[in-house]
Chains A and B, each alone.
Chain A
Amino acid sequence: MSAKTTQRVAEALAWMAGVFTLALLFSLVFYVLWRGLPVVDIRFLLSNPESMGRAGGIFPTIVGTAALTLVAIVIAVPAGVGTAIYLTEYTQESTLTRLIRFGTDSLAGVPSIIFGLFGFVFFVITLKMSWSILAGGLTLAMMILPTVVRTSEEAIGAVPRDLRQASFALGATRWQMVTTVVLPGALPGIVTGIVLGIGRSIGETAAVILTAGSSPGLPTSLLSPVRTMAVHFYILAREGISDQAAWGTGAVLVIAVLLINVVINWLIGRMVVRR
């Protein structure tokens, strides 16, 4: 083959790969919505499941998902943003920071089932939280921590140096500089990390089923067990309880994920403009 022919073939193959992947994504999303959306209405969203989920709606699972995600965010965001501030503003590259980064990167690679096993033996059994919003939320917080750290670190690193120096020149202490200059500048990036974390929490199943349980009732306290939408979807689908209700739940999940992605892209767009 001449160099020119190879060039044409390679370019065609690369285009095919791109088009194929996009087609895969669109058909996946449309398939779930096509199967699920006919089931979804206000009653489906706002009523309780009946006869194991064969009939009725998914309201308690929406509440459960929101509660778990909220706990996870409330814990992971201060910890993650704090880590990022320490790494970028309070120290120089050293063995310690490399160790912290290695810990963060490795935690990101830990599979969710391992988080589930850990959360079960540590929060549920050892700390006697039983299957609960608290145990599930804490487990999810650990899972999304690396995402929050990395996105915050990137965002904080992108705040121009001169702004920091100007702040110091005006007599600000380091913490004043961080709160008045760095954090406001890095806010869109930090929020991106938070939204990514929310997305991961909403879709998580393996870690959640082992730590928050799968009880389909409405929770009354932080120590109540809950069933999230993803867990509900899994149980309906796997145990063959109701394909229809499963696809309905799946459609709600996919719409939530789509909305989250729209928000993230809007935020990233804002970040680029600001720089």
Chain B
Amino acid sequence: MVRERIIRYLLLLVAFSALGSLVLITLFIFKEGLPLIVKVGLWRFIFGSDWSPSRGSFGILSMIIGSLWVTAGALILGVPLGVAVAIFTAEFAPPALTAAVRPLIQLLAGIPSVIYGFVGLTVLIPRIERYLGGPGPSALAGAMVLAIMILPTIVSISEDSIRAVPREYRDGALALGATQWQTIWRVILPAARSGIMTSVILGMGRAIGETMAVIMVVGNALALPFSPLQSVTTLTSNIGLEMAYATGDHRRALFAIGVVLFVIIMALSISANLVGRRPARR
């Protein structure tokens, strides 16, 4: 039985791999980034609008606003579409079609982000420039690309939560003479709202954290944006671009942006955990 006991302890040890990774990541990101935030001052770091690493000026306000623009835009475009697709596959589509659509939506999640970025760059950006004006690479382009990228998260988790609504609710509403849509709108969606909220929070996390696709379509201008057609820089795109050459305090400042990003993501993660059930896989 000694062997059994050893196996048990080994498995316990292994079970800490994910949690341990998270702790390790937290420690090292903070260790690299926090000293610079302390040096610059949290207020000036977050609300400073001048980012000139060569002059030792590190203010990330324009990146925070850039991230907010593309994320909000992605949610505005992606959430209604995603929830509509979830309602479609869970309620309206014939079962055979649903069975075909689910894996296709998952395929969207599997396509590498760099592909989304380059397709956005070659297909979307010239059209934005021609029909809407502006330089082309813009917050709007970022939002559109991200809206598509968060669809799988929104659709799969919303669909699962719509399906999880007990049959009796549906039958009860229909028996009272409600139409199918009245049942969906007044009974099923309210019952599924915690799952739908979770999907929105997780989609938001994905949008804020996405890097490569965003780098390729937002233009990466370091200015406070006033219109969705303007070029923006996001927290992630700035890290991704400048890590290629940054050294010293500049590199530490990029880790400090990582700290800010990490705190936002953990806050979203915790709220997703509080809002509802465990997220389904992917």
Contacts and interface: CB of A to CB of B under 8 A. Distances in A.
A100 B119 CA distance: 38
Contacts of A203: 110-115
A257 B110 contact: yes
Interface stretch (A40-48, A111-119, A158-166): A111-119
A254 B111 contact: yes
Interface in A10-34: 10-11, 13-15, 17-18, 20-22, 24-25, 28-29, 31-32
A83 to B, nearest CB: 5
A130 B85 CA distance: 45
Interface in A214-252: 230, 233-234, 237-238, 243, 246, 250
Given A21-B151, A112-B209, A145-B21, A205 B113 contact: yes
A230 B216 CA distance: 14
A82 interface: yes
Contacts, number: 257
A260 interface: yes
A154 B278 CA distance: 12
B210 A85 contact: no
B63 interface: no
A265 B102 CA distance: 10
Given A100-B19, A107-B22, A206-B212, A253 B85 contact: no
Contacts of B169: none
Interface in B144-192: 148, 151, 155, 178-182, 184-185
Given A121-B32, A199-B110, A105 B118 contact: no
Contacts of B54: none
A121 B28 contact: yes
Given A103-B18, A107-B21, A233-B114, A21 B81 contact: yes
Interface in B66-102: 81, 84-85, 87-89, 91-93, 101
Interface string A91-105: 000000001111111
Contact of B25 (A105, A115, A151): A115
B144 to A, nearest CB: 11
B255 A90 contact: no
- Chain A interface category by residue count: 35 or more
B18 A122 contact: no
A174 interface: yes
B65 interface: no
Given A105-B278, A203-B111, A99 B239 contact: no
B233 interface: no
A110 interface: yes
Contacts of B143: none
A147 B236 CA distance: 23
A20 B16 CA distance: 43
B209 A114 contact: yes
Nearest to A204: B112
A114 B18 contact: no
B34 interface: no
Given A151-B281, A230-B112, A206 B269 contact: no
Contacts of B91: 14
Contacts of B279: 105, 108
A22 B101 CA distance: 8
Interface residues of B, number: 92
B150 to A, nearest CB: 12
Given A120-B243, A173-B4, A7 B180 contact: yes
B211 A113 contact: yes
B14 interface: yes
B266 A106 contact: yes
A117 B12 contact: no
A253 B209 contact: no
A111 B3 contact: no
A205 B212 contact: yes
Contacts of B122: 243
Given A237-B216, A261-B110, A110 B180 contact: no
Nearest to B33: A117
Query: 5 tightest CB-CB pairs across the interface, nearest first?
Result: A111-B209, A103-B19, A203-B112, A17-B84, A82-B14
21 contacts: A6-B181, A7-B180, A10-B184, A31-B119, A78-B14, A82-B10, A102-B273, A107-B19, A109-B209, A114-B258, A114-B262, A117-B258, A121-B29, A121-B32, A142-B21, A145-B21, A147-B282, A175-B3, A203-B111, A206-B236, A254-B111
Interface of A: 3-4, 6-7, 10-11, 13-15, 17-18, 20-22, 24-25, 28-29, 31-32, 78-80, 82-83, 85-87, 90, 99-118, 120-122, 126, 142, 145-147, 149-151, 154, 173-175, 196, 199-200, 202-206, 210, 230, 233-234, 237-238, 243, 246, 250, 253-254, 257-258, 260-261, 264-265
Interface of B: 1, 3-4, 7-8, 10-12, 14-25, 28-29, 32, 81, 84-85, 87-89, 91-93, 101, 103-108, 110-119, 121-123, 148, 151, 155, 178-182, 184-185, 202, 205-206, 208-212, 215-216, 236, 239-240, 243, 254-255, 258, 261-262, 265-266, 268-270, 272-273, 278-279, 281-282
